[in-house]
Amino acid sequence: MRGFLDRDFLRTGEDFFFCVVGGVHPRDRVIAYLKYVPSPEGKWGRMEAAYARTMPNYTIPSLATNIQWLATQYPQYVFHSRALNIRMSAVPRRLIAAHYDPRTKLQQLVQAQERDPLQDTAVHLVAHLSDETSIPPDAFGVTGSILTDIHQPAFSDIDLVCYGLNNGWTIKRFLQNALTNVDSRLTKHSREERDKVVTRWATDYPLTRDEAAAIYRRRWNYGFFQATPFSIHVVKTRGEINEKYGDQTFTPLTIIEGRATIRDVHDALALPCTYGVDFLDGSPEGVTVEAIVSYDGLYGGIFDVGDVVQVRGKLERVVDRRRGRVYHRVLVGSLEARGKDYLKPI
């Protein structure tokens, strides 16, 4: 009944690890991107089974290279989505060797009699967050390398999942306060670490350093606990996903650039993060753009109602059969934009 949710992991017969994207999938396959592959030079895993990451960074150019490699070497993991009108990676359900559930993994770690230092820190971090927010412990999960048991305590970080939009808004408010409180057990990057992050974003995205720094100041879901870096990602529960694959079809129109005012942030935390907007300029004549959407976590939950943003992205016509309506949106993070799109505060 749970199905496949955002940030679950899948393992295939080739011992590839795919990270699931979103919670809406075709009947015969699961949309996901390839994250880890076996490699003797890999830093993750154990001595008898080492793994390497497939992308140097989580940007669209890297994703495009990832998909092209799969299309050439393992075409069974690439398909053309008629609903989304793009070529993307996905794992046929018949080729799934194992499905990793972040919530189940965390519960296993809580009950384990022995844990390594990183697993132990993850368990204590969830207990702290639950105590401070009253979010039930079973609303959390652990994803990434800890989920797949290929983490390295010496350098791996902790990637948590928080299920449910209401819980997501609660954890966001808590972290915004805790990460600026000198008495908190949670801390932010040092100035040197912050500068490295800003420099990387200004290199990987079409952002100036000042623009990258402005986005960094709005980021709320990264920090340190007991000197270990952690991240928290909000995922919709199955009950909050009110569509099936194919209910909506997306037709690409053109790349546009303009300014918009944020008017709705209800769905801005979970991927795809969605902002209801009123365009101020840049929308083609006769077209009303209702939303800006992104699958890039960089932009998740960083804007508030009333903020004015500059956006460049793919304009899409959306046919929503379930609701019997047609509307337009701008997608930030499309393959067509080739990494030249963005969403930034003004």
Residue 1 confidence (pLDDT) above 70:
no
Q: How many angstroms separate the CA atoms of 52 and 24, rounded? A: 28
- The neighbouring-strand residues paired with 251 are 317
Q: How many angstroms separate the CA atoms of 89 and 132, rounded? A: 39
Express each pLDDT in 85-132 by its tens digit: 999 999 999 999 999 999 999 999 999 999 999 999 999 999 999 999
When the pLDDT of each residue in the chain is averaged and rounded to a whole number, the result is: 95
Return the percentage of the chain with pLDDT > 70, whole number.
Answer: 99
Express each pLDDT in 122-161 by its tens digit: 999 999 999 999 999 999 999 999 999 999 999 999 999 9
Domains annotated for the chain, with CATH where assigned, are 9-99 (no CATH), 102-235 (no CATH), 247-345 (2.40.50)
Query: Coil, strand or helix: which one is 9?
Result: strand
Express each pLDDT in 221-272 by its tens digit: 999 999 999 999 999 999 999 899 999 999 999 999 999 999 999 999 999 9
Give the amino acid at 32: A
Q: Which residue has the tokens 């699961």?
A: 30
Q: Which residue has the tokens 């800006």?
A: 292
Query: Coil, strand or helix: which one is 127?
Result: helix
DSSP 24-88: ---SSEEEEEEEEEE-TT-SEEETTEEEEES-SSSSHHHHHHHHHHHHHH-GGGEEEETTTTEEE
Q: How many angstroms separate the CA atoms of 223 and 165, rounded? A: 20
Q: How many angstroms separate the CA atoms of 163 and 234, rounded? A: 6
The reported pTM is 0.95
Residue 47 confidence (pLDDT) above 70:
no
Q: How many angstroms separate the CA atoms of 258 and 210, rounded? A: 19
Express each pLDDT in 318-330 by its tens digit: 999 989 999 999 9
Q: Which residue has the tokens 């209800």?
A: 266
List of E strands, the chain: 9-12, 17-20, 29-38, 44-46, 49-53, 78-81, 86-92, 96-100, 140-143, 158-163, 186-187, 222-225, 228-235, 248-264, 273-281, 289-294, 308-320, 325-332, 342-345
